[in-house]
Structure 1
Amino acid sequence: MQFHEVKYDSAQPVDSYGPGFFRVAGRVIKGAMIVTEDTAISWDDPDDIAPLLALVGKIDVLFYGTGADPAHPPAALREAMEDAGIGVEAMASAPACRTYNVLLSEGRRIALAALPV
């Protein structure tokens, strides 16, 4: 088995997460967040889907981290994103972070919107 070091170049990987926070590219974000290849921001109101709709044309899939437990994303969020041509994959935040990092390392057009664990 060969191991390869993952290189993100200038991309924004999720380094770690814990109770109420995420660490993205070395920076701590408290509470919910949205992260893409080139930016990571605090998501002050997870009911506000405007920052996600601003990603139209930049991403193909949004990973939605639901916190500690798996859950469905809000129907309005899923419908708005799918109407805009963006797929939504919901899962608990821990696997959402891991999946985001793997696909980010492959150069995929993705974003992560995650609620803290």
Structure 2
Amino acid sequence: MRLTEITYDSAQPVEGYGPGYFRIGGQVLEGACLISPWSAGPWGGLGDTEAPLALAGRIDVLFVGTGGDVAHVPPDFRAALEEAGIGVEVMASPAACRTYNVLLSEGRRVAIALLPV
């Protein structure tokens, strides 16, 4: 079997997570966070569409990690992002982290909004 090292260029993948935190680029972020190839910082949760909407035109898909289990996002949250041309994919936060990292390594235009596990 041949293993290939994954490179992310200047983008920062999710390196790890645990109860209440995520580790990105060696930095620990506590609570909900929004991560794009350009930045990582706090996020106001499912009531905050302002921060993800600022990525319109720069990303195609926003993965939303809803914590340890999959949950529905509020319809107005999804509608606002889709109206701005951002696809929304909802999954548990661990799966969202893995999916984001894989697509980021492929150079895809993705971001991730995470609620802690």
TM over 0.5: yes
Q: Give 1:27-42 correspondences, 5 Å limit.
A: 27-42=27-42
Unaligned runs of 5+ in 2: none
Residue of structure 2 equivalent to 1:92: 92
Q: Aligned partners of 1:24 and 1:73: how far apart in 2? A: 24
Question: How far 1:77 moved relative to its partner?
Answer: 1.1
Q: Aligned partners of 2:52 and 2:9: how far apart in 1? A: 24
Q: Aligned partners of 2:48 and 2:62: how far apart in 1? A: 15
Question: How far 1:111 moved relative to its partner?
Answer: 0.4
Q: Aligned partners of 1:10 and 1:86: how far apart in 2? A: 22
Q: Give 1:5-44 correspondences, 5 Å limit.
A: 5-43=5-43
Q: Aligned partners of 2:48 and 2:36: how far apart in 1? A: 17
Unaligned runs of 5+ in 1: none
- Please identify runs of 4+ aligned residues in structure 1 that moved more than 2 A: none
1:14-66 Cα shifts (integer Å, max 9, x gaps):
000000000011100000000001100111x2111100110100000000000
Indicate the percent of aligned positions where both proteins have the same amino acid: 59
TM-score, normalising length: structure 1: 0.96
Residue of structure 2 equivalent to 1:81: 81
> How well do the aligned residues superpose, as a CA RMSD in angstroms?
0.7
Question: How far 1:2 moved relative to its partner?
Answer: 1.8
Q: What SS does structure 2 have at the residue aligned with 1:88?
A: strand
The residue identity in structure 2 corresponding to 1:84 is A
Question: How far 1:3 moved relative to its partner?
Answer: 1.1
Residue of structure 2 equivalent to 1:2: 2
